Amino acid sequence: MKNTKITMLALAGAFLFASCGETKKENEVEDGAMPMQNEMHMSETDEHDMGDVDGMHEMAGNLDDGQTREVNFSDDRIAGVYGHYTHIKTALVNTNAEEAQNGGEMLVEALDGVENNTEALQAAQTIANSEDVNEQRTAFLDLSAAMEELLTGAIASGEIYKQYCPMAFDGQGGAWLSSSEEIRNPYYGDKMLKCGSVRETIQ
């Protein structure tokens, strides 16, 4: 059974890698170069007002539609912080800079009183103060690293997945956190929505 599981994971990883490679090839043919974050946008007619966090998961056309698992935290403040982090991630998956700003503003407030929050607070402030989705995505990379530190040891039950896209930021790669094992890429949105893999499980 263990061997079967390992084999399935290996096949899934190979499929993800092949999928990312095919997307890259297609974009190279069309654009003459590897896709970059500043080429990713949605027209005004495609953008949605995502409202609160729960509303985002229920909205029609939401790209961040992976099946999430319940996670409980030992500190209510950290639970709130993670909820707003997820809000921002969903907004970036949907390439919605305005909603990412809203999530950033709420995260700044939620981080008040949380210890060792300097890096997370700086990244959240950048997201809240920017209307540029590319700047927000760059700040989200820093936010994700800071969030991993804040969440370590704070999970009472459940698990969070550290996911990684090797193609993000011109091949430098980028990680993010998710309550769903399914990949929904916040750095590429609909351009390469499922490009990436689970690197680690945080419990």
Q: Using CA atoms, how far apart are residues 121 and 203, in angstroms rounded to an integer?
A: 23
Instruction: Calculate mean pLDDT across residues 32-41.
Output: 37
Instruction: Calculate mean pLDDT across residues 167-176.
Output: 96
152, pLDDT greater than 60: yes
Question: Which residues, 6+ apart, have CB-to-CB distance to 186 below 8 Å?
Answer: 89, 92, 93, 137, 140, 176
Instruction: Calculate mean pLDDT across residues 79-91.
Output: 97
29, pLDDT greater than 80: no
> Helix axis angle, 76-93 relative to 133-151, nearest 10°?
150
Domain spans of the chain, in order of start: 2-202
What is the structure's pLDDT at 20? 62
What is the structure's pLDDT at 166? 96
Cβ atoms 113, 64 nearer than 8 A: no
Q: Using CA atoms, how far apart are residues 196 and 89, in angstroms rounded to an integer?
A: 15
Comparing CA positions, the residue from 121, 80, 126 lying closest to residue 100 is 126
Per-residue pLDDT band for 97 (boundaries 50, 70, 90) equals: very high
